[in-house]
Amino acid sequence: MTELVGADIVRRYRIHDHQAEDATHVEVGTVDGAPVRIDGRYVDADVRILTGFVEPHFFAGFSGGPKGTCPGLAATDTILEAHSPRRIADERATWLVTEGNPVHDFVRAATDLAPPTLSLDVAINDRRQLTAVFAGPLPDGHRAACAFVERTAVQRVAGRFDVVLSTNAGYPLDRNLYQAVKGMAAAERVVSDGGTIVVAAACADGVPSDGPFARLLAAAPDPRALADAAGPSEPDRWQVQVLGRVLGRADVWLHSDGMSEDEVRAAHLRPVSDVSEAVAAALAAAGPRARLCVLPQGPLTVVSAPV
């Protein structure tokens, strides 16, 4: 906690580190018939302030705002409902879409059951510098932040590309494969059907191998099974579904220092040792008129192409 907020804050204030599985949650209502349970300390507080970082989000539309409450302060069962396979599989559960997005709609409705007194959101640039601050009640402050980020972080292109080179924006965002799926999803927006996505992500912590994401990857016999929306909601399944959706559009080649070639293949990806050689090979395979798109910041700069 000291590393996260600084020694002065830790010394001056009492800090409660929310745990989604503990017994401190209280039911505040229902959304779509599902109970919504939020941390009781937050619900009982005289003043509630949410803080967030707004960036395009690969299935919630944008981060920040109401996500500070749900999933940020929600119980596990509420989190799983917000990330249910049915919601994740909806084509509207994608970058930049908030209205009509079943994930964001649930998150917003759940937060409205225990609304904050104030929401404080920030935007940053590719050097991690603050570019804007938005303070006010929800949803207006968050909508203004999303509009600003869309104007400043989204690039429009005329068509799709045969090969897309992406990252997960470097350390600390690319510490594992679970997080690196976001960079793949960013590339999915502009890669041609049947194209190739080349991803450079360190993945120093591996998959990681000790979590449900690794178990779900290992249980899937092929990429199509990853995107299957049938069955119960469970932790990390949303990330597996998104990876399956990406692989349904394009092949994904991964350069990683922290994963062995066998681990990369087990995740239904193709390992590559040299990024430049991989891009050259993918372009050569696509033909003399192949088009290349490079996303050096991965999910931090979203590109929109015609459907």
* Residues 50-74 pLDDT 10s: 999 999 999 999 999 999 999 999 9
Give the dihedral of Cα atoms 299, 300, 306, 307; nearest 10 deg. 30
Q: Give the pLDDT mean for 219-227.
A: 94
- Contact 202/179 with Cβ under 8 angstroms? no
Q: Is the pLDDT of residue 307 over 70?
A: no
**DSSP state for residue 156 in the 8-state scheme:** E
Q: Which of 170, 163, 165, 180 is nearest to 264 (CA)?
A: 180
Distance CA 169, CA 191 (A): 18
Q: Which CATH superfamily is domain 157-304 in?
A: LarA, C-terminal domain (3.90.226.30)
- Examine domains 17-154 and 157-304 and report if their fold is the same: no
SS3 of 236-271: the string is: CHHHHHHHHHHHHHEEEEEECCCCCHHHHHHCCCEE
* Residues 185-207 pLDDT 10s: 999 999 999 999 999 999 999 99
Residue 82 or 154, more confident: 82
CATH: 3.40.630.40, 3.40.640.10, 1.10.3720.10, 3.40.50.11440. Which one for 17-154? Answer: 3.40.50.11440
Q: Determine the pLDDT at residue 56.
A: 92
Q: Which two tokens stand for residue 224?
A: 């199509």
The full set of domain ranges for the chain reads: 17-154, 157-304
Q: Is the pLDDT of residue 5 over 90?
A: no
Confidence of residue 301 (pLDDT cuts 50, 70, 90): confident
Q: Determine the pLDDT at residue 153.
A: 85
Q: Give the pLDDT mean for 83-93.
A: 96
* Residues 24-34 pLDDT 10s: 999 999 999 99
Q: Which of 67-81, 109-123, 146-160, 277-291 shows the lowest per-residue confidence on average (mean pLDDT)?
A: 146-160
Q: Is the pLDDT of residue 126 over 80?
A: no
Q: Say how many residues make up the chain.
A: 307
Average pLDDT over the chain, rounded to an integer: 95
